[in-house]
């Protein structure tokens, strides 16, 4: 067996173990009884340790060196795979095994505490579990930063989106911070004079049936996936068995539906990755910003559009037993693009959404730099929220406890959402230019032009190219804010 073949065999084992962990995480969030938390945390920690040991085995760097010396015998996909293997090994080798295990155990414990602390708005209880987890995340950040030759927080960002640094994020966020406040004012002024939007209500059962119908129309295969309910919507599971969740609001049907459609975007990206490379690094997602671009492309670009609402309106009337029979697509569209600063990130509109990410970005950098103590988070959150959105959270449940990410140790992830927003606008714009029938097809509930382009230019390339390179290859332009701002102008003011 060649060195490269030996590496492929090893990474296949890693991929299979990762899939098993994915299913255990899904069960944790959806069906596991509370009493199962302690043994499940131990199981997940053990899997994390086994995967870490497989990746950091003393033979791996020698195999990488040998395979790289024979790279001329490999094809383009294999060479790209070898590069991704080297990257995975470098990241894993930077972290001691005991830190990996401790992080897994602490994040499992903290998430269970968060589940009870969030509805009770009990930050003090959450902080008792989060403070030690934060200490471990700081250790991880320092180790990654030292390995990559970058700042600790950049090390965390890089672990989510390869190659991304604050030096790239800052000017993009600064540009949006300059543009959005004045734009928000103009949009609110324009919407104040418009007809009232329509807020549709419906039972959870009716919403779930409609969500499944819409997911099927988009291309989700229920023979290879599920839709369930969780406290925080997510997409997980394993290759070929994709599990997504949403949460429903009986007073506002669009809220739960858009959550399901957002996660369907993630799921269809996973389903579109090349099966031949399923368990290899090159066959997996090209980064979390790229992943978020695919969910935001579906939710924000396609499904909050006027053509999609024309497709959705009669389905709402059918599934809600006439409750939406008087609704017209235009009234639904006005609700789908309603702009109003609010407290909850996942329910926010695309004009104010970047402010929610900027808030978390500022706090995360301060936390990792040890410039902000754990018990100072609520006050700092409230101050920045007031500054960026003009609102002060009334409690911690609608403030710093609303997201699951910090409770599972995911600091450095949040920038991926806004970078993904920018990428989504560029990908969708490129699709519309390449597929003249895109909008008429969406109005008919036909998403084949959209996914045909995405399969060829994004999904099917997996990690052969890293996110920014893939974006420029697919769209002809580097990452920037211009296309996103033009999209907002067309949708909200033109």
- ∠ CA 452-454-460, rounded to 5°: 100
Which of 263, 270, 299, 364 is the catalytic position? 263
pLDDT in tens, 265-317: 999 999 999 999 999 999 999 999 999 999 999 999 999 999 999 999 999 98
Which DSSP letter does residue 196 get?
Answer: P
Tell me the two tokens of residue 143: 């180790």
What is the average pLDDT across 395-420?
97
What is the average pLDDT across 176-196?
95
Closest alpha carbon to 391 in 347, 361, 352: 352
Residue 161 CA to residue 169 CA, distance in Å, equals 12
What is the average pLDDT across 223-244?
94
* Contact present, 241 and 228 (Cβ < 8 Å): no
Angle of helix 353-368 relative to helix 377-389, nearest 10 degrees, comes to 150
Residue 262 pLDDT: 96
The pLDDT confidence band at residue 193, using thresholds 50, 70 and 90, is confident
Q: Residue 143 pLDDT > 90, yes or no?
A: yes
Residue 325 pLDDT: 53
Residue 254 pLDDT: 92
* Contact present, 281 and 463 (Cβ < 8 Å): yes
* Contact present, 416 and 160 (Cβ < 8 Å): yes
Residue 151 CA to residue 149 CA, distance in Å, equals 7
Strand-pairing partners, residue 245, are 228
Residue 323 pLDDT: 57
* Contact present, 323 and 198 (Cβ < 8 Å): no
Q: Name residues whose C-beta falls within 8 Å of residue 135's C-beta, 6 or more positions apart in sequence.
A: none
Q: Residue 205 pLDDT > 80, yes or no?
A: yes
C-alpha distances out from residue 104 to 40, 46, 47, 101, 135, Å: 11, 9, 9, 5, 13
Q: Name residues whose C-beta falls within 8 Å of residue 156's C-beta, 6 or more positions apart in sequence.
A: 137, 140, 141, 144, 364, 368, 411, 412
Q: Residue 391 pLDDT > 90, yes or no?
A: yes
* Contact present, 393 and 343 (Cβ < 8 Å): yes
Residue 9 CA to residue 431 CA, distance in Å, equals 37
The pLDDT confidence band at residue 196, using thresholds 50, 70 and 90, is confident
Which DSSP letter does residue 195 get?
Answer: P
Residue 49 CA to residue 286 CA, distance in Å, equals 24
Say whether 443 is catalytic. Answer: no
Backbone angles phi, psi at 57, to 5 degrees: -50, 140
Residue 380 CA to residue 417 CA, distance in Å, equals 21
- Please give the order of strands across the beta sheet that includes 241-246: 225-229, 241-246, 235-238
Residue 320 pLDDT: 83
pLDDT in tens, 431-460: 999 999 999 999 999 999 999 999 999 999
pLDDT in tens, 106-131: 999 999 999 999 999 999 999 999 99
Q: Residue 335 pLDDT > 90, yes or no?
A: yes
Closest alpha carbon to 92 in 138, 56, 46, 59: 56
pLDDT in tens, 473-487: 999 999 999 999 999
Output the pTM of the full model.
Answer: 0.95
Tell me the two tokens of residue 402: 């609303």
**How many other C-beta atoms are found inside a 10 Å radius of the C-beta of residue 301?**
25
pLDDT in tens, 408-424: 999 999 999 999 999 99
Residue 326 pLDDT: 53
Q: In residues, how long is the chain?
A: 494
The pLDDT confidence band at residue 198, using thresholds 50, 70 and 90, is confident
pLDDT in tens, 167-181: 999 999 999 999 999
pLDDT in tens, 80-93: 999 999 999 999 99
Residue 218 pLDDT: 98
Q: Residue 322 pLDDT > 80, yes or no?
A: no
Residue, of 68 and 466, whose pLDDT is higher: 68
Mean pLDDT of the chain: 95
């Amino acid at each position: 067996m060649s060195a490269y073949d030996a590496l492929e065999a090893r990474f296949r084992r890693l991929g299979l173990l990762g899939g098993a962990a994915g299913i255990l995480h899904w069960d944790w969030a959806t069906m596991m009884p509370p009493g199962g938390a302690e043994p499940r945390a131990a199981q997940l920690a053990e899997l994390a340790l086994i995967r870490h040991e497989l990746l950091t085995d003393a033979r791996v760097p020698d195999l990488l060196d040998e395979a790289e010396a024979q790279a001329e015998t490999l094809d383009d996909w294999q060479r790209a795979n070898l590069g991704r293997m080297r990257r995975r090994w470098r990241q894993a080798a930077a972290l001691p095994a005991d830190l990996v295990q401790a992080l897994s155990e602490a994040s499992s414990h903290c998430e269970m505490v968060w589940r009870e602390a969030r509805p009770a708005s009990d930050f003090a209880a959450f902080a008792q579990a989060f403070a030690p987890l934060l200490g471990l995340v700081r250790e991880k950040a320092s180790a990654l930063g030292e390995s990559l030759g970058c700042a600790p927080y950049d090390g965390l960002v890089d672990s989510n989106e390869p190659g991304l640094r604050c030096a790239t994020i800052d000017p993009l966020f600064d540009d949006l911070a300059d543009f959005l406040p004045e734009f928000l004012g103009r949009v609110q002024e324009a919407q104040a004079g418009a007809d009232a939007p329509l807020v549709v209500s419906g039972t959870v059962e009716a919403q779930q049936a409609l969500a499944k119908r819409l997911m099927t129309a988009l291309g989700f295969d229920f023979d290879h996936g599920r839709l369930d309910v969780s406290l925080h919507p997510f997409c997980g599971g394993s290759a070929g068995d994709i599990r997504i969740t949403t949460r429903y609001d009986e007073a506002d049907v669009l809220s739960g539906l858009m959550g399901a459609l957002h996660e369907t975007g993630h799921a269809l990206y996973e389903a579109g990755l090349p099966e031949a490379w399923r368990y290899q690094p090159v066959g997996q997602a090209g980064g979390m910003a790229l992943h978020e671009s695919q969910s935001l492309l579906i939710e924000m670009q396609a499904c909050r559009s006027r053509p999609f609402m024309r497709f959705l309106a009669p389905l709402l009337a059918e599934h809600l037993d006439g409750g939406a029979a008087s609704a017209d697509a235009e009234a639904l569209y006005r609700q789908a693009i309603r702009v109003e600063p609010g407290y909850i990130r996942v329910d926010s509109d695309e004009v104010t959404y970047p402010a929610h990410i900027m808030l978390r970005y500022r706090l995360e950098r301060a936390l990792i730099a040890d410039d902000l103590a754990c018990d100072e988070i609520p006050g700092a959150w409230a101050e920045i929220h007031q500054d960026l959105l003009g609102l002060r959270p009334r409690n911690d449940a609608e403030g710093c406890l609303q997201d699951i990410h910090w409770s599972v140790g995911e600091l450095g992830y949040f920038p991926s959402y806004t970078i993904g927003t920018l990428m989504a606008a560029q990908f969708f714009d490129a699709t519309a230019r390449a597929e003249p029938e895109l909008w008429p097809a969406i109005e008919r509930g036909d998403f084949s032009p959209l996914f045909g382009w995405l399969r060829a230019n994004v999904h099917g390339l997996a990690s052969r190219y890293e996110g920014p390179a893939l974006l420029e290859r697919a769209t002809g332009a580097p990452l920037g804010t211009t296309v996103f701002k033009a999209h907002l102008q067309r949708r909200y003011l033109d």
